Structure 1
Amino acid sequence: MAENRKNRRGLGIVLIIVLIVALVAAFIGYQAFMAPSIATDAEYFYVKTDEPYESVIKRIEDEGVVKNFTYFSYVAKAMDLQSAGIKPGRYKLSKDLTNRRLIGNLRGGYQDAVKFRFQNIRLKEDFAGLLGKSFEADSLAFLNLLNDEALAKSYGFTKDNFFSMFIPNTYEIYWNTQPKEIIDRFGKEYEKFWTAERKAKAEALNLTTQEVSTLASIVKGEALHVDEMPKIAGLYLNRLKKGMLLQADPTVIFANNDFTIRRVLNRHLAIDNPYNTYRYKGLPPGPIMMPSIASIDAVLNFNQHNYIYMCAKDDFSGYHLFAETVAEHLVNARKFQRALDARNIKK
């Protein structure tokens, strides 16, 4: 009897030990596989194209991405991460992310796309810089493509007007997408943007889609207010129809490559540059900035009127006074010049 009790007691102790071991194993398994694992405050973890497996794993440890690197390593081994390989990309990190989910994302390449939004871009260099900050490739790779005449021609553009292919909007693109593929994406979006209706309106103006964009860039350069864009567009279309010089100050500023100019002077007008519309008739070779959708549609849906002159209002509201005759325009221009003098704006 006593021996039976002793055996039962021994068996009970063994069962308790087994239960404790099982609970500890379950706890460790839960912590390793199922518990939230992310320690860093970084929003994303980036894996470069062709980055070695060892480099990625070391960065996960060195950058403190996970709370317990030993657990992470165990799960990575259990999920055979090294054999499967880590896909390049931009991976979203959140505090509820587990090792199992993180490793699954790295294995499968389940990355978050970049929501790439751009507008008010003045120069190709600015756009290339923004692309370089947003995607894996550097800005020089993008700038070389933007200046590639053969590439521009393949999309139906020249090197000068290629900039008009990029329609300001929000695009979802994967971080490690190759630069040429990104450019191609913009080309497809450009084709979608130029619907049959928009193309018909451009044709009615006797302008190509590229020429509409070039004029739209001038309208955007002149207008501080979207509601005034169709009126300004109508003025420049009137000038084009009459064969007059456009005489658009933003083109002079672009030609001088000095965007600090607030008051266009005779010395600025003297520059011999095809973008100087005070010297060269018609539209310049390409856009003077990236046109917005609003400015493109303002050209296509311009206000019909007889104005051929305009001058900024002397209240500095950003709006303009419009005129049909030189005499009316000179009155408006003198008001604005006096306002500039009063504020000591000399250049």
Structure 2
Amino acid sequence: MNLKYLLDIDKTELLTALLAFILIAGTVLGTRLYNLSSNSAVHFEEQTEILFSELSILAELENILSEHQIEYDAVELEWAANILGWRRYQRGRYVFEGSYSYNSFLSKMTKGIQDPTSVVVLPGSTLERLSSSVAPKFYFDTEDFLAVFEDSTYLAEKGLNTEQLFGRMLPETYLMYWTSSPKDVVNKILREFDRSITEEYLETAEELGYSFDEILTMASIVEWEAKNEDEKTKISGLYWNRLERGMRLQADPTVNFALGERRRLLFEDYQYDHPFNTYLIDGLPPGPITNPSLSTIEATLNPDNHDYLYMVANPDGGHIFTETFREHQIESEKWRIWLREQLRIKRQNELKEQEEANGENS
């Protein structure tokens, strides 16, 4: 075979291979360069939350992506991280949904551009329930959050006791960052409370002859008692009437608070010795028993003008209001009769279900 012919073939094949390599390399490089800034490099089918509890590296990010079953090119991601310099990711919470370029995806976490989390504070809560609903939104646990309300230094700094601080946990929806500390969270809610309590509120409290802390305490009782929004001003008027006449409040929610549980009260519960039990103490309890909403605070500051002194629950979830104790006794008996009937119906239904179950098993 002619040596010159072989050399010509080898050169042709070499040139073809070289051109193919250049084409492939160019295509790969072009795709990678394109993905640096185009929204097609990393795709999230659904909203995905990435959490870093500390400064993290690329390997940790890749582990999280794998845990969430996010498809991506590991080699290309590492190349992009090296080229762009986005290799360390700040502590925080980052939310992704849809498609991203490597630049937008990695830079967000490197720069620590967190996505806020929505925190809902409900009215009429307990400190334990508030802690259980708030803490999962952040890096800390419930014990860390509860500790703020027992921190004597912090309480002294705010000039509040535990109940007064909790009473100021204004019901609202807040946007906060996952990395916020327990005190950051409490401080933000306190700032919103202070912003919402206008000078007009303070002036109205003064006209009523009470400090704002006393108004907040009364509002907390109204919050716990009122199941219907339209009853709040009537209930607050009733409680203010009792105080003005030198009567004890005798508010059932204060007994529930003293007992530490929400349930139907028994006769002996009313004798439970506790500084918050308004069946045994005169005037208002030492502090709020829950966190009232702004509407309840307003209702407490602007009570209905009436002569009601007594109320008892009714089957509709509201109350029957009366002016005399005799009227109250009559309505209370009606309520007890209704409760006994409900208990009878419940037991009858349970017995029927048991009989049907026994029949099926026989």
TM (normalized to structure 1)? Answer: 0.87
Secondary structure (helix, strand or coil) at the match of 1:228 reads helix
- How far apart are residue 30 of structure 1 and its match? 2.8
1:214-264 deviation digits (Å, cap 9, x = unpaired) = 2111111111110110100111111111221111111112212232x22x2
- How far apart are residue 149 of structure 1 and its match? 3.0
- How far apart are residue 59 of structure 1 and its match? 2.8
Give the residue type in structure 1 aligned to 2:277: N
Q: Which residue of 2 aligns with 1:273?
A: 274
Give the residue type in structure 2 aligned to 1:125: E
Secondary structure (helix, strand or coil) at the match of 2:255 reads helix
8 Å contact from structure 1 (residues 44, 93) kept in 2: yes
1:52-71 deviation digits (Å, cap 9, x = unpaired) = 43663353354244522222
Structure 2 distance, partners of 1:215, 1:155, is 21
Alignment pair present for 1:249 and 2:252: yes
Higher relative strand content = 2
Structure 1 distance, partners of 2:23, 2:303, is 81
Q: Which residue of 1 aligns with 2:31?
A: 27
Q: How many residues align?
A: 332
Q: Which residue of 2 aligns with 1:290?
A: 291
Q: Which residue of 1 aligns with 2:72?
A: 67
Q: 1:156 aligns with which of 156, 159, 162?
A: 159
Q: Which residue of 2 aligns with 1:225?
A: 228
Q: Which residue of 1 aligns with 2:307?
A: 306
8 Å contact from structure 1 (residues 153, 159) kept in 2: no
- How far apart are residue 267 of structure 1 and its match? 0.8
8 Å contact from structure 2 (residues 219, 300) kept in 1: yes
Secondary structure (helix, strand or coil) at the match of 2:312 reads strand
Q: Which residue of 1 aligns with 2:122?
A: 119
Give the residue type in structure 1 aligned to 2:92: G
Go from structure 1 to structure 2 and tell me whether the alpha carbon gap of 1:15 and 1:58 turns closer, same or farther (over 3 Å shift).
closer
- How far apart are residue 142 of structure 1 and its match? 0.9
Structure 2 distance, partners of 1:32, 1:239, is 72
1:174-219 deviation digits (Å, cap 9, x = unpaired) = 1101222222212211210111111111222222222222211111
Go from structure 1 to structure 2 and tell me whether the alpha carbon gap of 1:279 and 1:219 turns closer, same or farther (over 3 Å shift).
same
Q: 2:189 aligns with which of 163, 186, 204?
A: 186
Give the residue type in structure 2 aligned to 1:303: D
Alignment pair present for 1:56 and 2:55: no
8 Å contact from structure 1 (residues 166, 187) kept in 2: yes
Q: Which residue of 1 aligns with 2:356?
A: none
Q: Which residue of 1 aligns with 2:204?
A: 201
8 Å contact from structure 2 (residues 55, 90) kept in 1: no
- How far apart are residue 32 of structure 1 and its match? 5.7
Give the residue type in structure 1 aligned to 2:133: L
Secondary structure (helix, strand or coil) at the match of 2:119 reads strand
8 Å contact from structure 1 (residues 37, 99) kept in 2: yes
Structure 2 residues not aligned, in runs of 5+: 1-8, 347-362
Q: Which residue of 2 aligns with 1:3?
A: none
8 Å contact from structure 2 (residues 125, 291) kept in 1: yes
- How far apart are residue 125 of structure 1 and its match? 1.7
Go from structure 1 to structure 2 and tell me whether the alpha carbon gap of 1:192 and 1:61 turns closer, same or farther (over 3 Å shift).
closer
Structure 2 distance, partners of 1:17, 1:30, is 19
- How far apart are residue 336 of structure 1 and its match? 0.9
- How far apart are residue 104 of structure 1 and its match? 0.7
Give the residue type in structure 2 aligned to 1:329: H
Percent of residue pairs identical: 30
Q: Which residue of 1 aligns with 2:332?
A: 333
Structure 2 distance, partners of 1:236, 1:329, is 15
Structure 2 distance, partners of 1:300, 1:43, is 45
Secondary structure (helix, strand or coil) at the match of 1:247 reads coil
Structure 1 distance, partners of 2:145, 2:24, is 60
1:325-345 deviation digits (Å, cap 9, x = unpaired) = 111111111111111111128
Q: Which residue of 2 aligns with 1:38?
A: 43
Q: Which residue of 2 aligns with 1:139?
A: 142
Go from structure 1 to structure 2 and tell me whether the alpha carbon gap of 1:167 and 1:328 turns closer, same or farther (over 3 Å shift).
same
Go from structure 1 to structure 2 and tell me whether the alpha carbon gap of 1:222 and 1:79 turns closer, same or farther (over 3 Å shift).
same
1:76-123 deviation digits (Å, cap 9, x = unpaired) = 1112123xx321111011122232211110111111111211104532
Structure 1 distance, partners of 2:324, 2:147, is 46
Alignment pair present for 1:88 and 2:91: yes
8 Å contact from structure 2 (residues 228, 318) kept in 1: yes
8 Å contact from structure 1 (residues 239, 246) kept in 2: yes
Structure 1 distance, partners of 2:260, 2:61, is 47
Task: Indicate the structure (1 or 2) with the bigger Cα radius of gyration.
Answer: 2
Go from structure 1 to structure 2 and tell me whether the alpha carbon gap of 1:340 and 1:237 turns closer, same or farther (over 3 Å shift).
same
1:28-55 deviation digits (Å, cap 9, x = unpaired) = 433465314135745211111x344366
Q: Which residue of 1 aligns with 2:112?
A: 109
Structure 1 residues not aligned, in runs of 5+: 1-5
Go from structure 1 to structure 2 and tell me whether the alpha carbon gap of 1:46 and 1:241 turns closer, same or farther (over 3 Å shift).
same
Give me the CA root mean square deviation.
2.6
Q: Which residue of 2 aligns with 1:322?
A: 321
TM (normalized to structure 2)? Answer: 0.84
